[in-house]
Amino acid sequence: MAGGLVIVGASLAGLRAAQAARAAGYEGELTIVGAERHRPYTRPPLSKDLLAGIDDVDACMFPADEVDVTWRLGERATALDTTAKRVDLEGAESIEYHRLVLATGCRARPWTGPGKELEGLHTLRDLDDALALQRALAPKPKLAVIGAGFIGCEVAASARKLGIDVTLVDIAPLPMPGLGETLGARCADMHREYGVDLRLGTGIAALHGDAGGRLAEVELSDGSRVEAQVAVIALGAIPNTEWLEGSGLTLEPGVLCDATLTARGADDVFAAGDIAAWPHPLAPDAPIRIEHWTNAAEQGTLAGRNAVAGAAERKEHTSVPSFWSDQYDVKIQAVGLPRLAERVHMAEAAPDGDRFVAVGERDGTVIAAYGWNGARRLPLYRRHIAAGASADEVLAAVREDSKAFGAPVAA
Amino acid sequence: MSTIKVHVDMNLCQSHGECVFAAPDVFELGDDDVLKWEEEVDASKRAELEEAVNVCPMLAISLEG
C-alpha cells in the first residue's frame, strides 16, 4: 500500500479522519498535510472567547498528540493526480497515497473593492487571524464589521464585551440571513441593546484611508460614512478547492461526493467538512455543502472510517445538521437545513420572550428548527426533522407538550 | 454485563446539547439547561457514546472502559 492514508487538511475534519481510521484498526502509514503551521485547533472560540480574552490559545488546541500520525505542517498541497495517486506540495516532495481524504476547508472572502490595500482590514478564519485581530483591538479602536452573518455577529458581540465601539453593516435587511425573519429581527434588537450601531440594508461603497494608508472611514452605499480604524471583513467563505482543478474531480458546489463521501470519479478519494458536497436525504434536488463545526467533526470521522474500509462497507452520511452561534449571553442554534426553508413558523416561546423555537417548512415538511436559548428543546425537533414530520404535525405536538416553553404569540 | 463510565467536565460544558443529539438515552439538558447524564452506561451503547465525544464542541466528554 504505497503511501498509505494521506489526509490533506489539518483542522477538525482532518484530525477526526485520522482518529477514526486508527480507531477502525488501520495500522498503516498515516500522513496529515496542513498549510498552517499549527497542530489542529478548534475554531469556534476564535470569534468568541479567544477574541474576548476569556480563552487563551492553549484552550483552543485539540488533544492530538496521542494519534499516531506523520505531521506535514506548514506545507501547502498544490495539485492532485488521481491516476498516479499523488499529491504535490509547495516546495517539498510529492506524497503518494493509497487512500486520500480531502479536508482543506474554506478561507475568508476578502474585500476586493476600493480601499482593499489599506492597513487595518482583517478577516477571521485562522488562529493567526484571531491573534492579529486581538492585537489590533487592544488599543480599543473604532471597529466596523462588514457582514452580519455568524462571524460578523460574533465578532461584534465579542468587541462590545471589550468595550469597543462597533458598527455592524450588512446589505441584508436583518442579521444572520438564512435563519429566518423571527430570529434575525430578535438578533438585530439584541445587538442594538448592547450598543452596536447596526446598519442594515446597505452595502459598502468604499473604504477610505488616512495619509499613512491606514483605514479611517467606511463609506456605505447609502452615502453615510462611519469612522473606523479597524474593519473585520465577514463576507463569508470560499472553499479551498482551486488546488484540485485539473484533478478530474467535480468542484461545484464543492468536491462532489456520493453519500459515503467518496469523491465522484475517484474511488479512493474522500472529502469531508467545508469542501465536501454530498447528497443529503433532506435535500433531494441538489448536493449540499455545509460550513459548520459539527458537520466537519461528523464527516471527518466518517471519511476516515470509510477510507480504510472495504468499498462495500462504506457508510452513508445522513445525519441532520446542527450548528450554533454564541452572541452575548444568547445561544442561537439551528438543526436541519434552514437555507431550504420556504416558511418559518414560531413553534413555542417563553412568556418573557427569552427563549423560543421556530420551525422552517418546505413542501409541508419541517426541514429546520431554530432555537433562541432553546438547546434543551432542539433534540425533539431534530428527531421530527429526521422522521420527515409535517409542520402541522410538529406544531400540534408542541402545543400538547407540557415541557414546551409556552404558546407562541401570534405566529 | 460490561459498562462504560461517562465523564463530563462541567467546567467546560456550555450546554450546546450536541451530545443529546448523539446519545439521547444518556444525555439530557435539564430545565435550567444544565447537562444531566448517566454515569454508567451499558457497553452496547458504545457507538453513540463515541459519537457524543466526537461532536462535543467543548471536548468536555470522556469515556472510561
B55:A297 CB<8 A: yes
| A98 in contact with B, Cβ within 8 Å | no
Sheet containing A230-233: order of strands: A121-122, A230-233, A143-146, A166-170, A197-200
Distance (Å, whole) CA A317 – CA A334: 19
Q: Hey, which residues does A335 pair with through a beta bridge? A: A322, A369
Do A378 and A371 form a contact (C-beta atoms < 8 A)?
yes
Question: What are the boundaries of each domain within chain B?
Answer: 3-64
Question: What grid cell was written down for A80?
Answer: 492532485
Kindly give the pairing relationship between strand A237-239 and strand A106-108.
antiparallel
Residue whose entry in the numeric block shows the C-alpha cell 485539473: A246
Beta strands in A97-140 (DSSP E): 99-102, 106-108, 121-122
Is the CB of B57 less than 8 angstroms away from the CB of A375?
no
B50 interaction partners in chain A (CB closer than 8 Å): 23
Report helix, strand or coil for A44: helix
Q: Do A294 and B59 touch (CB under 8 A)?
A: no
Chain B residues touching A16 at Cβ < 8 A: 54
- Which DSSP string corresponds to A298-345? HHHHHHHHHHTS-GGGPPP--PPPEEEEEETTEEEEEEE-GGG-SEEE
Residue among A189, A174, A197 at smallest CA distance from A327: A189
Cis amide prior to A253 (ω within 30 degrees): yes
Q: What is the pLDDT of residue A178?
A: 87
Residue A342 pLDDT: 95
Residue-wise DSSP of A93-109: EEEE-SEEEE---EEEP
- C-alpha distance from residue A352 to each of A82, A405, A408, A409 (Å): 58, 10, 11, 11
The residue whose grid cell reads 454564541 is: A326
CA distance linking residue A236 with residue A234, whole number of Å: 6
The complex's ipTM works out to 0.94
pLDDT, residue A132, reads: 97
Q: Which domains are delineated in chain A?
A: 5-107+238-313 (3.50.50.60), 110-235 (3.50.50.60), 329-399 (3.30.390.30)
Beta carbons of A370 and A344 less than 8 angstroms apart: yes
Q: What is the pLDDT of residue A66?
A: 85
Q: B59 to chain A: nearest residue by CA?
A: A62
pLDDT, block means (10 residues), chain A with 411 residues: 87 97 97 96 94 92 91 97 97 95 98 98 97 97 98 98 98 94 95 98 98 98 97 98 97 97 97 98 95 97 97 96 96 96 95 94 96 96 97 95 86 45
Does B64 reach chain A within 8 Å, measured CB to CB? Answer: no
Q: How many residues does chain A have?
A: 411
Query: Is B46 near chain A, with CB under 8 Å?
Result: no
Phi-psi group of A330: left, alpha or beta (phi > 0 → left; psi -120 to 50 → alpha; rest → beta): beta
Residue among A335, A293, A298, A334 at smallest CA distance from A316? A298
Would you state the pLDDT for residue A410?
A: 53
Identify the bridge partners of residue A372 per DSSP, sorted by sequence position.
A332, A356
Q: What is the pTM of this model?
A: 0.96
Q: Cβ contacts (< 8 Å) between A294 and chain B: which residues?
A: 18, 55, 57
| Cβ-Cβ contacts under 8 Å, A293 against chain B | 57
Cell readout for A290 is 455545509
Nearest by CB: A378 against B17, B30, B59: B17
What was the pLDDT predicted at A411? Answer: 45
A63 near B CB under 8 A:
yes
Closest by CA position to A282, among listed A339, A346, A350: A339
Interface membership of B24 toward A (CB under 8 Å)? yes
Q: Is B33 on the interface with A (CB under 8 A)?
A: yes
| pLDDT per residue as tens digits for the range B4-55 | 999 999 999 999 999 999 999 999 999 889 999 999 999 999 999 999 999 9
Question: Is the Cβ pair A376, B33 closer than 8 Å?
Answer: yes
DSSP A398: H
Q: Return the CATH number of the domain spanning residue range B3-64.
A: 3.30.70.20
Longest dimension (CA), chain A: 65
- Please name every residue paired with B27 in a beta bridge, in sequence order, or none if there are none: B37
Q: Which 3 state secondary structure label does DSSP give A161?
A: helix
